[in-house]
Amino acid sequence: MIFTTPLYAEDAEKILAEVVNQQQQQLPIMLDLATRIDNITYADRTVHYKLTLSGYEGRPGEQAYYQSYLAQQINKSLCSQTAYLLILALGNKITYQYNSADLKNIAEVTLAPGDCKS
């Protein structure tokens, strides 16, 4: 019989920090024609993604549209993926911060533990 020790929260944090560090080394990377991931960090129990949206012009209502649209899309996407659900279940948050090419804040979306309950 093989016995293994349980994965404790401290171990999970170390593993998550290492995974984020490995992903960071592959950046920047384009997700699609308009979205680039520039940076990923893990600190204070939060995985923080910094992204750039190309084509953002700052027209009236555009920022509100993106905030609503991105919040909806992120929630739908992340709440259906086991890896992200595990990150949240371990007490972490996931934040996506979107900026324009000229570094203007467009939107920020954070998912916290419990946000993905159906």
As a whole number, mean pLDDT of residues 22-34 equals: 94
What number does CATH give the domain 9-111? 3.30.300.250
Nearest to 112 by CA among 80, 75, 83, 77: 75
Instruction: Quote the CA–CA distance of 97 and 21 in Å, as a whole number.
Output: 18
DSSP 28-64: SEESSSSEEEEEEEEETTEEEEEEEETT----TTHHH
Q: Quick: pLDDT tens for 45-82.
A: 999 999 999 989 999 999 999 999 999 999 999 999 99
pTM for the whole thing? 0.86
Mean pLDDT of the 96-116 span:
94
